[in-house]
A and B are shown apart, each in its own frame.
Chain A
Amino acid sequence: MSFEPTLVGFLCTWCSYTGADLAGTARMKYPPNLRVIRVMCSGRVDPNFILEALARGADGVLVCGCHPGDCHYVEGNYKCRRRLPITVKLVEGMGIDPRRVRLEWVSASEASRFTQVVIEFTDEIRALGPLRLEEWAFDHEAADAQLGHNGQSRG
C-alpha cells in the first residue's frame, strides 16, 4: 500500500473553515488526509502548534487564512504571513523539508480552491514521503520535563 500522509490543517473560522464547510455542503471531494483544527484567525496560529503537530506525527501542516485585505479581524492574516516564513525557516533548520509547512489563502466562497489546495498539498507530501520524527528518537515527555513544562501549564 502506498504511503498516505497525515496532515494537520489550521483553518481560520471566517474564510478557510467556511470555505471547507462549503466544500462539504457542496459535496466536493478532497483527500481525507487533512485533519482540520479550527482557529478563530490565522493570526492565532502559534508557531508552537505547527512544531507540536509535526512532533506528534503529522507529515505536513497547512495553515489557511483569509486573503490579504479580507481578514475578519482586519489584519490577523498579515501577522500570520509574517510568522509563517520564520516558522518554516525554523523547521528547515531542524532538518525538516520546508515544503511540509504551507500557508494558503482560501476565502469563504472558494470551496473548489480549498479542495485544490488540499489535493496539491497531499500529493506533495505523499511524494516527499513520511516524516518519521519518532525515528529521530525524540522523547517528547523527556523534552517537556527538561524544559520544565507539562501538558497542564501550557495555555
Chain B
Amino acid sequence: MKVLTELPIRLDPLIDRVRAPDRGGIAIFLGLVRDHHQGKQVLGLDYSAYGEMAEAETAKIIAEAEGGGQRARVVVQHRVGSLTIGDTAVAVVAAAAHRGEAFEACRYVIEELKKRVPVWKKEFFVDGTVEWVDPTASEQTLRRSDARDV
C-alpha cells in the first residue's frame, strides 16, 4: 500500500490491514491540521513530497518498528495536496500482541517520520501570508519571540 495519498484518509481499511488473531492491541496516531502556528491563525496548508524517497524511507522506518519479526505490524498514510483545518494529515496504525509494543511501534514511526520522511508543508495564514514550515528554524524563532517578551 502506498504511503502518500491525495484522498482523505480512512481509518477502517488501515486497521483491517494490521488486524490479526495474534495481535491483541492496536495503537493509532492521527496528525490533524491545526488552526494555529506560532501564534498565527492558519487557513489551511499544502503538503508536498519527494514521492519515491518518501515511500522508501517510510518503508524503512516501518521495518525498523516491526523489528523483522511478528512483534508488530504498522501501516502509515500521509496526505499530499491541499488540506483544511481538522483534516487528517497523517495516520499511523500499529498492531502488536500487547498494548506496550503497539504504543511503542506507533510512537517510533511517527517520530522518525517527522525527522526523516521528505514531506513539506506550506501554510496559508488568515492574514494572507504564506510560509514553508521549517522545523529547524522554529526554535530560533521561538527564542527570538521569547526574547521580545522579556
A and B: partners? Answer: no
Give chain A's interface residues, CB within 8 Å of chain B: none
Q: Which residues of B contact A (CB under 8 A)?
A: none
